[in-house]
Structure formats: structure tokens, C-alpha cells
Chain A
Amino acid sequence: MPTPRPVLQVQHLIKQFGDFTAVNDISFDLRPGEILGLLGPNGAGKTTTIQMLLGVVKPTSGSIQMFGRDLETDREAILRQVNFSSTYVSLPQALTVEENLWVMARLYGLPQIQLRIDAIVKQLEMEEFRHKVTRKLSSGQSARLGLAKAFLTEPKILFLDEPTASLDPDIAQKIRSFLKEERRVSGLSVLYSSHNMHEMEEMTDRIIFLQRGKIVAEGTAQEIVARFGQADLEEVFVKLAREE
């Protein structure tokens, strides 16, 4: 079977802040329906990479293509088909959960907004706080709102920066199965950063290990574990992170 055309192609991506290099010449692909893990110690450049893929940080050099188009030139068309969720971002606190979802749906020009909101609220089990003001949500609830916002627009690519960091194990588990289900039925592609190694092993088809802005390992979780001769991904992480 021929490998399908990637939905995302990153080539020789570099980001320098002054003379500090946060992302140092990375290249990778994301295939349709694939969940790609982005792994690496604090400051490795994961968030910076995701921010470049979302067009909010401008690469120093290199190219980013999604759906065969260039992000610099086709920004709006591309961004309409992707979404993201990050623990560092929140939604206006004075609006209710449902109002926030409405605003975001309008921003992305979604049709049949109410139907879509009802569906996502149900899927992420948010019924009990859908009419709550965002300010009054617990951190786990607002993380779920962030995810709902990301799934709401039916993106073809999803960028998740530590999406389950503040969720309780039960909800985190539900989110993971929801993510897998979405991928199965709609062919959603996901770029996923997390510090939870078990989650990485469970969720991802492939992993990219970033360190000081460079890709130091790439492959399935098993492949990486085997290559470094360690017991599991956590061991590999610790080994790699401590290497100078």
C-alpha cells in the first residue's frame, strides 16, 4: 500500500530568538489519521514548534506545508482546518461555556452551530457545566472546555500541547478514547505533546523526541525503547534528557 500524502510537512524548520536557537533544523511529516507524539524535556522546543505550526510564531527559516499549501501564504485557509488546545491559553472568563463555544464556532465560520455544540458537549460530558461562567470552572473543567473548543470546529489536524495535564485519570482516559475514536471515524491527524510517558506509549503511532531544539530520536514507542536498550519510554526519556 502506498503511503498516503502527509497532511503536514515540516522542512528544515529553525527558530531563533536573538542568538538562542529554540528549534534547530527539524523536519517531519504527519500522515492522515496519524497521532504523532512530541516528546522532550522542558525547554526542548515543543511549544515553540506548535506555535509556529499555528502561525503565531514566525519561523526563522524552513517551510511548513499543510494540505499541500504553504502556511505563510495560505494562512487563513489552513487555519480554518486546524485547531489546538493548550494549557497556556484560556477563553474569556466572563462568558459561559456555551457562549465561548459559540464565539469560537462563529470565528471559524461553522454551519449549524447549535447542533455541533450539543454534540461536543455530550461527547466530552460537559452537560453539567455548559451554562456555567468560565471563571467558575475547575482547572479540569476548563481543560475540557479547551478541548471542546479544539474539537468543535471539526479540524483535520489537531495540535495538543499537554492536553491532559490537569485532568483526573478518569476524564483523561475518556479524552484519550474520544481522540482515538475521532481519529478512527474522521481520519483526524494529531500532533500531541505530553510529559506522560504511559499516555505517549498508549496513544501515539509515532514519536519524535526533541532535545535542545533537535530531533534526537524518531519512531514508534517500541522502536525507540528497543533502540536505546531501555525497559520503557520513561527510561529512554531520562537517559536522553540527562545526556549532555
Chain B
Amino acid sequence: MMEIFYWPFLDLVIWGFITVYLMKFQGQIPGAVTFFLGALILWDVLFRAQQGVTISFLEELWARNLMNLFASPLKPSEFLAATMVMSAFKVAAVSVVMVVCAGLFYSYNIFVIGLWLIPFVLNLVMTGWIIGVLTTALIMRFGQEAEVLAWSMVFLFQPISCVFYPIEVLPGWLQAIAWMNPATHVFEGMRAVLNATVSPVAHLAWATALNVVCLSLVVALFHWMFEFCRERGLLVRIGE
């Protein structure tokens, strides 16, 4: 039932803001193609990073292998670290394919952004991990009904990540929320690089700081959920 409204609602929000953006800045969007393609590729980095973490967990769950893992000397934190490593590999693989395809099909070179790309992409991966750990914790707690979060949760963050439009497009109250999202700082920072007007350093610093704080918070949440599930006997039940 939720799903019927979820996707149309998010589509409406995203495309609504993109439309507002296009109308406001008609004709003067800097390198429009560059802009949207780049944004799409970078959004995918975040998305794949999140999937890398959550899907690794889901695969163990579906394989009924969780008890083998959690009754072994492996610590929950080590398990999370392993899913993040997996995620990094997947992101690297997908990024190469996307960049090559964008180059071949649209002669688009994402490296126009320059060396700034590297720290910003690393931050996006981290944001992906944050959402990944968050969804994993929720799936562990709520079981099968929550599995759909693995694919849908991240899109809840998309409108407030300002991927395809600058933050000024959002209404004031939503801007306040968006600024708390590390991904917003990444995308705003990239736009600063492309426009070459203001320095992206502040955005990079904010993104990194927020990422570190949020990642610590969700890892703590994961541990808390893990204990909760141990108490309720849920670790050995999910997937059954």
C-alpha cells in the first residue's frame, strides 16, 4: 500500500524541483548536459555504496547464513566493515562502467570537475554507507516487511540531496533539513567547482564532518538494534 504512493510522490517531488530550477534559470544553466549526466553518475555512486552494504546483509539473510556469522568470533562491527569494503568494490566497478559509457555515448568526461572529484566522491560513498547501515539495522529489526527499504530508502534522501538542482530551489524549511545531509554539501560543492565562483572547501569540510558524525551515529544504532534483536531472539528468526 505504502509503495503505491511512495514512488509517484518522490517522482513528483524530484521532477517538481527540477522543473522549478529549469524555469528559474532558463537557458543559463552552466553546461546543462554536463551537469545532469555528472549528477546522475554521482548519485549512482551514493546509491551503489548504499546497496553494497544493505545487499551484502540481505544475501546473508536469504542464505540463512546470519547465524553462522553471528555465532562465530566475528564482531558486528567487523561485519559492517566487511560490507563497506564490498560496497567500495562494487562502487569502483560500477563507476568505471558508467564513466566509460558516458564517455562513449555522449563524449562526456566527468573529470572536467578535476581533482576535486576524488574527495567529493569519497564523501558520497560514505553517505551511501550511512544510509546502507541505517537500512540494514531496520531490516534486521523489522524483518521481511522492511526488505523493500533496501531499494527505496535511499530515494527518500534524494530530494534533500540537491542532486539535480541547487539548494535555493527548495523552500526554506526544506533547505534547513537539506543542509544537515552530507550529500547536499557534496553536490553544492561540485556546483561550486563547476561555476568556479566560490571555493568548495567549506562544502567539503561540512560534508566530511557530517559524514563522520552520521556514520558514528548509525553504527551505534546498528549495535543497539543488534542487542535488541539478540534480546528478542530476532537474529535467528529473520529469513525463516
Partner of A57, one of B60, B69, B230, B240: B230
Q: A88-B67, A89-B68 are in contact. List 16 more A-B contacts (CB 8 A).
A: A51-B236, A55-B71, A55-B230, A56-B235, A57-B236, A58-B230, A58-B231, A79-B72, A86-B67, A88-B64, A89-B65, A92-B63, A92-B65, A104-B72, A107-B73, A149-B68
3 tightest CB-CB pairs across the interface, nearest first? A54-B71, A58-B230, A92-B63
Q: Is the pair B232, A17 in contact by a Cβ cutoff of 8 Å? A: yes
Name the B residues within 8 Å of A79 (CB-CB): 71-73
CA distance A56 to B60 in the complex (A): 15
Q: Can you sample 21 A-B contacts with CB below 8 Å? A: A17-B232, A17-B233, A55-B230, A56-B70, A56-B71, A56-B230, A56-B235, A56-B236, A57-B230, A57-B231, A57-B236, A58-B227, A89-B65, A89-B67, A89-B68, A91-B63, A92-B59, A104-B68, A104-B72, A108-B72, A149-B68
Residue A93 lies at the interface, judged by CB distance under 8 Å to chain B: yes
Question: Is B223 an interface position by the 8 A CB rule?
Answer: no
Q: Would you call B73 and A90 a contact (CB within 8 A)?
A: no
**Chain A nearest CB: distance from B18 CB in Å?**
40
Residues of A within 8 A of B71 (CB): 54-56, 79, 84
Distance in angstroms between the alpha carbons of A108 and B230 in the assembled complex:
21
Contacts from A to B (Cβ < 8 Å): 15, 17, 48, 51, 54-58, 76-77, 79-80, 84, 86, 88-93, 104, 107-109, 149
A48 to B65 Cα, complex, angstroms: 18
> How distant is A17 from chain B, measured CB to nearest CB, in Å?
6
* B24 CB-CB contact with A under 8 Å: no
Contact B68 A91 (CB under 8 A): yes
> Which of chain A's residues has its CB closest to B60's CB?
A92
CB 8 Å contact bits of B64-87 with A (1 = contact, 0 = none): 110111111111000000000000
Q: How far is the CA of A58 from the CA of B67 in the complex (A)?
A: 14
Within the complex, the shortest CB–CB distance from B87 to chain A, in Å, comes to 18
Say how far B187's CB is from chain A's closest CB, in angstroms: 36
Q: By the criterion CB–CB under 8 Å, are A56 and B67 in contact?
A: yes
**B235 touching A57, Cβ below 8 Å:** yes
- Assuming the contacts A57-B233, A57-B235, A58-B230, asked whether A91 and B73 have C-beta atoms less than 8 A apart, the reply is no
A80 to B240, alpha carbons, bound, how many Å? 26
In the docked arrangement, what's the CA distance between A108 and B71, Å? 11
Most chain A beta-carbon neighbours within 10 Å: one of B60, B67, B73, B231: B73
Q: Which residue of B lies closest to A84 (CB)?
A: B71
Residues of B within 8 A of A55 (CB): 70-71, 230
